């Protein structure tokens, strides 16, 4: 009798190491979960037993520069499609769904655009719009601290590195400190959400793993978001569902509304009384939609 599994391994992608984790039902519907910024393959996700009951085989990996994955300087959002393609080939998975949370959102859209022969459905939770989005106040509703990181990226990698180095060094020494830093930027719904000891522990573990080798994954994510993503939204073929908390101060809900207007076959849900981190609670429902025949 098959049981839920969780396995961790590494693969080679063009001479780079990519660290991968697979959990849930061994023969379940495959779904790639693309982690947030910062984040790691071991980030918050449904329990193994729940994934098994849902019939889902959840696949995640550390983006280059995070956790156990080799850094890829100058990477673009579009490069995620190559990595996902390589992991799928390694696992013998032909067709799959993809979901990106927060900073994983743009990368999920890259897969939907560039792997239309493999991606069946795509979802984005509290994602970002391109930095050159027309008719969008990109920083509107975003916390001042988060906006400062993105604006530093516009002045180059070195300035962004200086902006973030102290924060990442402090996080490496005390991962809980990043939660406290983020609390200063949160709206009410996120502050209430952070009262959950379980979710705080999951986030702390993910941050510690993501940043153990330095700030490079985080820095490269932000640089990629602010640059050319490397694909066009109107080329996305699979159905796309977007979800956003109305009171998000890290990636404002206006970003998902903007994306939904420009992605064919996209639908968007903006939930009042929720903010950024509620995406962790929404994930099981989104997984159910992604694997609906």
Q: How confident is the model at residue 290 (pLDDT cuts 50, 70, 90)?
A: very high
Q: Is the pLDDT score of 4 beyond 80?
A: no
Beta carbons of 28 and 67 less than 8 angstroms apart: no
Q: What is the pLDDT of residue 153?
A: 83
What is the per-residue pLDDT across 54-80, written as a single tens digit (0 to 9) for each? 999 999 999 999 999 999 999 999 999
Q: How many residues does the chain have?
A: 293
Across all residues in the chain, what is the average pLDDT?
94
Number of neighbours of residue 139 by Cβ within 10 angstroms: 14
Paired tokens of 223? 């640089």
Q: Beta-strand (E) ranges in the chain?
A: 5-13, 16-24, 29-34, 56-61, 96-101, 119-125, 240-245, 266-271
The answer to whether domain 5-290 has CATH 3.40.190.10 is no
DSSP letters along 96-165, please?
Answer: EEEEEETTHHHHHHHHHHH-TTTEEEEEEES----TT-TT--TTTT--HHHHHHHHHHTT-HHHHHHHHH
Distances in whole angstroms, Cα of residue 202 to Cα of each of 61, 197, 270: 16, 9, 25
Tell me what the mean pLDDT of segment 262-279 comes to: 97
Q: Residue 193 is inside which H or E element, if any?
A: helix 188-193
Q: What is the pTM of this model?
A: 0.96
What is the per-residue pLDDT across 171-187, written as a single tens digit (0 to 9) for each? 888 889 999 999 999 99
What is the per-residue pLDDT across 214-224, written as a single tens digit (0 to 9) for each? 889 999 999 99
Residues contacting residue 278 through CB under 8 Å, at least 6 positions apart: 189, 190, 193, 245, 271
Q: What is the pLDDT of residue 162?
A: 81
Can you give the residue ranges of every domain in the chain? 5-290
Q: Is the pLDDT score of 163 beyond 90?
A: no
């Amino acid at each position: 009798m098959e049981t839920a599994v969780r396995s961790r391994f590494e693969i080679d992608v063009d001479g780079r190491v990519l660290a991968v984790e697979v959990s849930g039902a061994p023969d379940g519907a495959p779904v790639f979960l693309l982690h947030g910024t910062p984040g790691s393959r071991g980030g918050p996700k449904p329990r193994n037993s729940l994934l098994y009951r849902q019939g889902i085989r959840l696949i995640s990996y550390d983006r280059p520069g995070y956790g156990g994955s080799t850094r890829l300087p100058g990477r673009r959002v579009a490069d995620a499609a190559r990595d996902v393609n390589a992991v799928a080939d390694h696992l013998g998975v032909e067709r799959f769904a993809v979901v990106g949370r927060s900073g994983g959102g743009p990368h999920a859209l890259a897969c939907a655009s560039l792997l239309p022969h493999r991606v069946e459905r795509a979802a984005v939770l509290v994602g970002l719009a391109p930095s050159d989005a027309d008719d969008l106040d990109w920083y509107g509703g975003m916390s001042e601290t988060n906006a400062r990181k993105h604006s530093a990226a516009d002045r180059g990698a070195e300035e962004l590195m200086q902006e973030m180095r102290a924060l990442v060094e402090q996080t490496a020494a005390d991962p809980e400190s990043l939660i406290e830093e983020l609390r200063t930027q949160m709206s009410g719904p996120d502050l209430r959400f952070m009262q959950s000891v379980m979710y705080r522990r999951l986030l702390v573990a993910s941050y510690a793993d993501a940043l153990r080798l330095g700030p490079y994954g985080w820095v490269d994510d932000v640089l990629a978001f602010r640059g050319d993503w490397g694909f066009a939204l109107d080329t996305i073929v699979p159905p796309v569902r977007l979800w956003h908390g109305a009171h998000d101060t890290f990636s404002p809900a206006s970003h998902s509304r903007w994306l939904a207007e420009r992605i064919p076959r996209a639908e968007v849900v903006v939930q009042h009384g929720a903010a950024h981190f509620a995406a962790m609670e929404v994930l099981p429902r989104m997984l159910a939609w992604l694997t609906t025949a």
